[in-house]
Amino acid sequence: MLGRMQDWPLTVDRILDHAKSWHGDREIVSRSVEGPIVRTTYAEAHIRAKRVSNVLKGLGIGHGDRVATLAWNTARHLETWYGIMGIGAICHTLNPRLFAEQLVYIINHAEDQIIFTDLTFLPILAQIRDQIPTVKHIIVFSDDGHMSQDLPGALCYETLVNDASADCAWGGFEENTPAGLCYTSGTTGNPKGVLYSHRSNFLHTLVTMGTDVLGVSATDTVLPVVPMFHANAWGIAFSAPGVGAKLVMPGPKLDGASIHELLESEQVTFSAAVPTVWQMLLGHLRQTNGKLTSLKRVVIGGSAVPEAIVRGFRDEFGVDVTHAWGMTETSPLGTLATPNHRIAGLDAESQLKFKLKQGRPPIGIDLKLEDDEGKLLPRDGHTFGRLLVKGPFVVGEYFRGDGGQILDADGFFDTGDVATLDSDGVMQITDRSKDVIKSGGEWISSIEIENIAAGHEKAELAAVIGVFHPKWDERPLLLVKLKPGEQGTKAEFLAFLEGKIAKWWTPDDVVFVDDIPLGATGKIDKKLIRQRMADYVLPST
């Protein structure tokens, strides 16, 4: 026997259909690549997305074909997403911060047939054009007046869209049809593709709308600084249209001054980005005595948030910071540091230690910790273990079966993170498994040390790696990039850490560097740091 409810496939085209029907006049505001602010609405985006669908069909794109985007957050990018997915094709987001050879590998592995791109990225595509044979057309987000000749044969987006019909049927396919393709950063071997289904994206959208997750509502004005090529802009490209929030798209300008301008001019109430973006914004606000008159909440993810950022937003600007954790393989939101009833009853200072953790799993996500032998570990808040995750919007296998079997016997995916879980269900990432420092048989969290060190008033960025030690196997080394014009000493940074970490966690040395490299997703690139420091010897050895 089955239930007697309507069979309504959970396909993402229904999200923009809903936005058009019930809040079609709500604005989408974009800072264009050409410079000016461009305004449209969900109703207009819906019409243009249908036109995009007909453009694709006219170019031979059908069910299951991969169509890539290499673009900033703009309304054009958004309407292209829905135009691709609405006809059952697969939207493959490309990260422009990857190296050229990585882009070539990903495009060829996906067998992309069309790439939509911004003017900004034409030089990248011109460099690799003869290495991506499956790509039949490149469509540039531009009009005739701004089209560049950097890539001969490229097509003009506005010309194609204006000439296409808006009469196009969406959906009508099974909800487990693939909708999106996003590749991991490939820090260990080649990038792997995560193939999202319409159902998984729809369920993730419903979950993120909850108060204990993103909690975005129809009264919000949302600025997703997190790029659309980072796992669906953390789902905001679906949840904002779903609830009817005003969307403010930042385009290519992500510096502190440009973000502040949009926050104020559009009266943004909610935003999301990686820590480096908020660090730049705080720096700009302090230098200019700037104000935040409308912003109420920010979500920070991608890497662990330093305490100094949380305190800065809270104490100086009255903005609440929510820490989030996830990965490409979790669609991406896996946990958020929203308080439960017990934590909410604590004073602000006591709550802060929970805000610095990665948070609790929402409905649809299950977590567990295991040791290296697969033994289940307790939720006591201090036992480190490998973090595994399970749920209806968590990867089951990689695209084309890369990596083979990736789930354990109970269907859990190993995240590659080392974490703790406490009795409130709050999870804290202590390291990537490849970055954790193993000293004398015990584990030291590099993330915890570097987050505290980054809070020093002279520090712009901090990183911690393990360095060989003949007695203890590894000892922590702290690398610090100072703010412009600052001078620092080893002694003052070690003194700053004193009392904030276990004494035996104290770094054996502090090295001041001109640069701390960031990877394609804004995280500290410790693989590159380790290569640079390969010949370094601790003074204690």
- Give me the active site residues, please: 184, 329, 438, 443
**Cα–chain-centroid distance for residue 67?**
21
What are φ and ψ of residue 481, in 5° steps? Answer: -100, 115
Angle at which helices 13-23 and 198-208 cross, to 10°: 50
Distance between CA 232 and CA 352 in Å, rounded?
Answer: 29
Q: Which residues make Cβ contacts (< 8 Å) with residue 174, sequence separation at least 6?
A: 9
509, with CB counted inside 10 A (0-12, 13-18, 19+), is: middle
**SS3 assignment, position 140:** strand
Distance between CA 238 and CA 534 in Å, rounded?
Answer: 44
Establish how many alpha carbons lie within 13 A of residue 75's alpha carbon, considering only the half-sphere containing its beta carbon: 23
471, with CB counted inside 10 A (0-12, 13-18, 19+), is: exposed
Greatest Cα pair distance, the chain, in angstroms, is 73
Sheet holding 366-370, edge to edge: 366-370, 385-390, 413-421, 427-432
Nearest to 185, CA basis, from 362, 332, 74: 332
Q: What is the per-residue burial (b if ≥16 Cβ within 10 Å, else e) of 404-423?
A: eebeeeeebbebbbbbbbbe
Distance between CA 5 and CA 169 in Å, rounded?
Answer: 24
Contact 329, 415 (CB under 8 A): yes
